[in-house]
Amino acid sequence: MKIDKEQLAYYERELQYLRKSGQEFAKQHPKVASSLGLTPTSSSDPQIERLIESFAFLTSTLQRKYDDQFPVMSQTMLRILYPQLVAPIPPMSIAQFHIDPSKGKSTTGQTIKRNSNLYVQTSKGVPCRFKTSYDLTLWPIEIEDAQIVPGANYDFYSSLSSDSYVLKIKLKTKAKKLKEYKIDSLCFYIDADYFIANWVFECLFLTNTAFASYNPQTNTHRIYRGDEIIERVGFTEDEMVLPTYPQSPTSFNLIQEYFALPQKFMFFRLNNLDFSDCDDEVELLIPMSSNYDALKKNLQINTDTIKLGCTPVINLFSHLTDPIDFNKRSLFYPLTADVQKQRYMEIHTVEEVNQTIRGSKDVKKLSPYFSYDHGDITDQQKYFYHIQQDPAFGMPGTRTEISFVDLSFNKQTPIHETIFAKVNCTNRDLAHSLRPGTKLYGEQPLPVSDITLITQPTPSIYNPGGGNYHWQLISQLTTDYVILGAKDNDVAVKVVKEAINVFKRQVSHALMTDGSDVTRFSTHDIVRRIGKDAWRGFLNGASYKITFSEESFAKKDVLLFSAVLNHYFRNFSYTVSFTELSVFKPDEETVWKVWPVEKV
């Protein structure tokens, strides 16, 4: 483990110092210290050698603890401003829900709410728990066929698109007729390897603004057009998988989720559906951009590739900790979710700390020492809490400790009170050990026949720690000002690369596009009229132009990555009213993709 290597380096440095300084001291004072028998590598006396090694271990531990205090201020600042940047990234996955046929009689569908709790009982005797990330509406319909076919197969196709191929998704009802259901939108998941999934994503969203529904029983069709008729999923605030915080922009969540779980973006939603003329089946026809032609031989789409009833899930759940066991000897006290299950229960974040006076039923909420409400609570609260998270001993992940101090940061020990915390927990590495196909169950009754994981949960990702990493994160505060003010391309590219790659703790796929693929970046002031209403005026905005390397376009995820950056730049452009991101290929003057204007 990393912690062992760091401790060993501290130990060897202290040991070397003790031997060298002891040898030098013995030379200068032979009468009192010659019996030490020290050399640069050892001592002739095994008892002295053992004593020196023990002392080196003690001083190395103290020195390391002292050095670890330097990042405390930066870590605390980040924990207040951007909590998700210092918190571990829990395991995440994609789950599929199958509706219970007996519950499919409703004409409005069955809704699985965001943050619904799921679990699986593991062989370790501990349930591994998840919660859903998107609102999900289930319908008693199934995908009978999915494939890419020539658009010429349909006599009306020329009025829909000029692209040669179309993604056909054939739906069939399990119960009532389709026209009896009030289906206005359907959300599909692209279940394929990273390269293929991004290929489909690019074909769907590069230029497409229309699709059609076709009734093979009556040979009738409808054409749907509009900028959001085919909608990307996973970019709005209520579609974040990682926890969100009111003081922090969701752009941080997006870029973290891109590197940790890019599958969360492999969804598309078809809106404004009208099946009023359909009985048992309907075909949805989505044009594929011309990019499909070059690689169509390698792209196989079937019912295993396009799926209904899917949502991202995250191994994160609420829990109350054990009461803290106080004594007058400790500065920090272990904060444990369950002392009997510490190996598979890790505290991710502390939501709140509560106290009760023994013999009383009243519960009082404590405030953290590093906070912004001291002025309101100083008279009512005599002490505050401080949370410290460090690498765990003998197990993966972190351990959490809590201390209590007054406003002068002097130690306090509330031994006459019972204190516990409401925390968010993960199951450490237990979730990552689950395999695709694992069945999940709802903690509350759900209108489903079964729930399965269709991707292996990602491993937990921990930030590197240390002051350097924290100050890199804090530098994100100046990203918008530096980018908007950078007139030199090299400076702008350097800033953008740093801003992106600081979030790249661990990538889920080796071929992912990242900051190193950016070759040019520029910013220009623009003025646009935003909105179609006659009364709307003109606003000042920022036009971002970004160029990626040729290798990144071969990876096929430039479109997804630029979509994430489009939201990232919007949330950090405080000094303008809107942003516009244009993507270029290398050595080309024509724009490859212009993302719609985003209001700040």
What's the rounded Cα separation, in Å, for the pair 467 and 361? 42
Using DSSP's 3-state secondary structure scheme, residue 132 falls into strand
> What pLDDT score does 2 carry?
47
What's the rounded Cα separation, in Å, for the pair 362 and 552? 59
- Yes or no: say if 422 and 429 are a contact pair by the CB < 8 Å rule: no
pTM of the entire predicted model: 0.85
For 114, phi then psi, to 5°, come to -55, 140
> What pLDDT score does 127 carry?
95
Q: Looking at the predicted structure, is the pLDDT value of residue 40 above 60?
A: no
Q: Which residue has the higher pLDDT, 380 or 324?
A: 324
> What pLDDT score does 344 carry?
94
Q: What percent of the chain has pLDDT over 90?
A: 42
Instruction: pLDDT band for 250, please (50, 70, 90 cuts).
Output: confident
Q: Which residue has the higher pLDDT, 599 or 294?
A: 599
- Yes or no: say if 97 and 311 are a contact pair by the CB < 8 Å rule: yes
Q: Which residues of 74-99 are buried (b: 16+ CB within 10 A; e: fewer)?
A: bbbbbbebbbbbbbbbbbbbbbbbeb
Q: What percent of the chain has pLDDT over 70?
A: 88
Q: Which two tokens stand for residue 93?
A: 């996955």
Section 81-94 average pLDDT: 90
Section 424-445 average pLDDT: 95
Mean pLDDT of the chain: 85
DSSP H or E run through 593:
strand 591-594
pLDDT tens, residue by residue, 367-393: 888 877 666 666 667 888 988 888 888
In 205-280, beta strands by DSSP E: 210-215, 220-225, 230-232, 267-271
What residues does each domain of the chain span? Answer: 2-68, 136-308, 317-426, 466-599
Q: Looking at the predicted structure, is the pLDDT value of residue 287 above 50?
A: yes
Instruction: pLDDT band for 35, please (50, 70, 90 cuts).
Output: low
- Yes or no: say if 424 and 430 are a contact pair by the CB < 8 Å rule: no
Q: Looking at the predicted structure, is the pLDDT value of residue 142 above 70?
A: yes
Q: Looking at the predicted structure, is the pLDDT value of residue 275 above 50?
A: yes
- State how far the alpha carbon of 398 is from the alpha carbons of 180, 224, 461, in Å: 52, 51, 11
> What pLDDT score does 374 carry?
65
- State how far the alpha carbon of 28 is from the alpha carbons of 31, 34, 45, 84, in Å: 9, 9, 20, 55
Q: Which residue has the higher pLDDT, 468 or 225?
A: 225
Of 6-20, 39-53, 89-103, 305-319, the one with minimum mean pLDDT is: 39-53
> What pLDDT score does 140 carry?
92
